[in-house]
Structure 1
Amino acid sequence: MPFEHLTFDHVGIRVTDLAVAEAFYERLGFLRDPAEFAPAVQACGLVHPSGLRIHLIFNGVPAPEGNVLLDAPIKRPGYTHAAFVIDRMDDLIAWLDREGIAVTEGPITMGHGRRKVCFIRDPDRNVLEFNEIG
């Protein structure tokens, strides 16, 4: 094993319009970290009050078929989604409904202690998974 300590730092999410994507993720509680705004490399770091970080990579080109990793008939290799742990799925589902954000799958039950799982999509059709563990 090349290292003993391993934690997750962030996930990079490619988007087509930084303002639209940032507004969406702000609704989920993520706020821009000015120290991680790097227009030269088209990246914008956002941080959630929990400490979780994401990077919006704002050099995406719109794809008419939707998410090229999940929606296209040929399945290409790549990261398909980011998964988050939440406290209460019922509260999330109610909030998503109030906000007009569609649940694309779930809530369903999956293994490894996941009591409830649901999936949504951001404005660029990137998939976000939410897990209630318990």
Structure 2
Amino acid sequence: MNFNTLELDHIGIRVTDLDIAEAFYAKLGFLRDPDEFAPQAKACGLVHANGMRIHLIYNGLAAEQGNVLLDAPVKRPGYTHAAFIIDSMDTLLSWLKQENIRVSEGPIMMGHGRRMVCFIRDPDLNVLEFNEILTA
């Protein structure tokens, strides 16, 4: 290989309604980057204050039975979720409750007790994972 991968640039998330998705991700701290808005490609870049980026690809059709990669009985290949490191699971859980955002799984301990994990879904049922790295 003659090149070095330096970092992850962004995560693309297919959604059905840009306004609804953008409002949801704004609650998580992701705001529209005017330099990353491409209506011709049906893509809208969002950036977090910490520099993380996601692109909302707003050409999705509503699924009849949940997330086609995770909820269907036949498991097809594809990206299943984005995962974020957070500083406090308790604070996240409290905030999710206040915002009326349902936790779809967790929190659960992963690995050898070094990671607390919970999952939520966006309005299009895309899965988001949140991890608190435990120091004990």
Structure 1 unpaired stretches of 5+? none
Q: What's the offset of the Cα at 1:38?
A: 0.2
Instruction: State how far apart, in whole Å, the 1-side matches of 2:129 and 2:51 are.
Output: 18
Shift in CA distance, 73/83, structure 1 to aligned 2, threshold 3 Å: same
Structure 2 unpaired stretches of 5+? none
Instruction: State how far apart, in whole Å, the 1-side matches of 2:81 and 2:32 are.
Output: 21
Q: What's the offset of the Cα at 1:112?
A: 7.2
- CA deviations on 1:11-37 (whole Å, 9 max, x unpaired) are 000000000000000011100000000
Shift in CA distance, 73/46, structure 1 to aligned 2, threshold 3 Å: same
RMSD (CA atoms): 1.3
Q: Within 5 Å, give how 1:29-108 maps onto structure 2.
A: 29-108=29-108
Asked if 1:26 corresponds to 2:26, the answer is yes
**Taking every aligned residue pair, what percent have the same amino acid on both sides?**
72
Q: What's the offset of the Cα at 1:133?
A: 1.0
Instruction: State how far apart, in whole Å, the 1-side matches of 2:83 and 2:65 are.
Output: 23
Q: In structure 1, what residue type is equivalent to 2:18?
A: L
Instruction: State how far apart, in whole Å, the 2-side matches of 1:60 and 1:29 are.
Output: 23
Q: In structure 2, what residue type is equivalent to 1:76?
A: R
What is residue 16 of structure 1 aligned with on the other side?
16
Q: What's the offset of the Cα at 1:46?
A: 0.2
Instruction: State how far apart, in whole Å, the 2-side matches of 1:42 and 1:7 are.
Output: 24
Instruction: State how far apart, in whole Å, the 1-side matches of 2:114 and 2:21 are.
Output: 28
Query: After TM superposition, what 4+ stretches of structure 1 lie above 2 angstroms from structure 2?
Result: 1-6, 112-115
